[in-house]
Amino acid sequence: MLLQIKIYLISILYFLGALYMVLFPPRNFELSGAKIRTTRSTGDNLKFKEYVDHKGLSFAVDAFHRRDPEVVKVVHLAPQTFENRSIVAVELRSDKHTRKPGILIVGALNPMAWASPNAILELSEKLLYDASYQTPFFNDYDWYLVPMGNPDGIEFTHNMRTRRALNSVDWTQNVSARAETRPTEWHKNVDLEDEQNDKRCFGTNINRNFAYHWQDDVHKTPTRCCQYYPGQKPFSAAEAKAIRKYVDKMGDFINLAIHLHASFVPKKEYILYPWRYSLRTPSNYRTLQDIGEYAARQARLPDGRLYEVHQSSNDERVAGTLIDYISGVVGIDLVFLIKPYHEMFPNFTDTSNLRLYVKKSISTVLSLVRAWRSSTKQNTLSFFGRDVEF
């Protein structure tokens, strides 16, 4: 009898809630729900079927803005890169009158992660136009997306993809061989800090150029030829400077920050969190570990494996990174580094690798959001001792 009474009461509450939503719809639904945009279920189909370059990225985000200017804002970050390209940020806000919890995603600081911009564009497409993603992911959060943090590096590696591979150290030293070869790996931008010096060596590793414990992982500055060269000083790279300005400006609106990176080692895929420069654990490491483990279970890899979840310095100490800067300087508590597997210089016409990376990346990002929601009990109701998300 008591159980029947509970069921009747719950049914009445649901009916009253539905009636209230019909009579007094929330503003963000009126402005940005399915009544405004054409929605559909896209499944796993790729909208962007080739590795995008800077031109393709700019065209895609401009198309988002033209189609839905009320909810999409495109921002060109300053300063421009060494080759005069703008780093593009796209902001997705379902209700421009209300600030909701913000999620920042930065991709492709490493130019070997070709599919990272694709993953962020595909996520944008789904948030905007796929009904199954609008609630809860789009309507409940503001999204601040930087799909390509190193456009010069992406362009540089794309243009060399068909050349014969040469060991990166040998490629750097052998200037005459560069016209017909490419380095086996390239993790930097293409800037020349001082054009009067030896031009054999160029480029700065952007993800070691942020001003938080810069170079604390080394006793001596790596040479300019090294793939991990951190720059002459913090923020000497235009890309790091532009991203810093944007993150500093938006910091008060961001609750969850994600750096979408890549692992270049098969079967080694990670969800990591600060600190990278030190083995010292952050004060909220238990929360970060729990959220990461929850996300890893939700985003189980296609072969059944789970992402490895731990503090990023457990594998290797790296100073001057984006996630340490966001956590230590901007002061955002929830900061993660995602590293799905990505082949270096993959076959440009074979979309299977692209599709797999994009699928894993989107799944992991949304799993982190779910884990965060679960940790805060946001949009959940408890029925008979069990939390149900709505």
What single string gives the DSSP state of each residue in 341-373?
B--SS--TT-HHHHHHHHHHHHHHHHHHHHHHH
CB 155 within 8 A of CB 189: no
Q: Which residues are paired to 235 by β-bridges? A: none
Mean pLDDT of the chain: 88
In this predicted structure, the answer to whether residue 28 has a pLDDT above a threshold of 70 is: no
The interaxial angle of helices 285-298 and 351-376, nearest 10 deg, is 130
Q: Is residue 21 part of a domain?
A: no
Domain that holds residue 362: 54-153+235-382
CB 321 within 8 A of CB 210: yes
Across the range 333-353, mean pLDDT stands at 95
CB 319 within 8 A of CB 282: no
In this predicted structure, the answer to whether residue 134 has a pLDDT above a threshold of 80 is: yes
In this predicted structure, the answer to whether residue 228 has a pLDDT above a threshold of 60 is: yes
pLDDT band, very low/low/confident/very high, at 27 (cuts 50, 70, 90) = very low
Tokens of residue 47, six digits: 């909208």
Q: Is residue 388 part of a domain?
A: no
In this predicted structure, the answer to whether residue 372 has a pLDDT above a threshold of 90 is: yes
Residue-level pLDDT at 248: 98
Q: Which residue has the higher pLDDT, 296 or 1?
A: 296
Q: Is residue 27 part of a domain?
A: no
CB 240 within 8 A of CB 210: yes
pLDDT band, very low/low/confident/very high, at 143 (cuts 50, 70, 90) = very high
What CATH number corresponds to the domain at position 149? 3.40.630.10
Q: How far apart are CA 338 and CA 336, in angstroms?
A: 6
CB 228 within 8 A of CB 187: yes
The total number of structural domains in the chain stands at: 1
Residue-level pLDDT at 4: 67
Q: Is residue 250 part of a domain?
A: yes
Q: CA 84, 86, 92: angle at the middle one, nearest 5?
A: 175
Q: Is residue 218 part of a domain?
A: no
Looking up tokens 């990225």 gives 57
Q: Is residue 318 part of a domain?
A: yes
Q: Is residue 359 part of a domain?
A: yes
For the ranges 7-11, 14-18, 151-155, the maximum mean pLDDT occurs at 151-155
CB 289 within 8 A of CB 138: no
pLDDT in tens, 78-101: 999 999 999 999 999 999 889 999
Output the pTM of the full model.
0.87
HSE (side-chain half, CA atoms, 13 Å) at 93: 17
Residue 205: which of 185, 231, 168, 241 has the closest Cα? Answer: 231
pLDDT band, very low/low/confident/very high, at 40 (cuts 50, 70, 90) = low
CB 226 within 8 A of CB 187: no
Q: Is residue 100 part of a domain?
A: yes
Beta strands in 286-333 (DSSP E): 308-311
In this predicted structure, the answer to whether residue 34 has a pLDDT above a threshold of 70 is: no
CB 90 within 8 A of CB 124: yes
For the ranges 14-23, 39-48, 216-225, 270-279, the maximum mean pLDDT occurs at 270-279
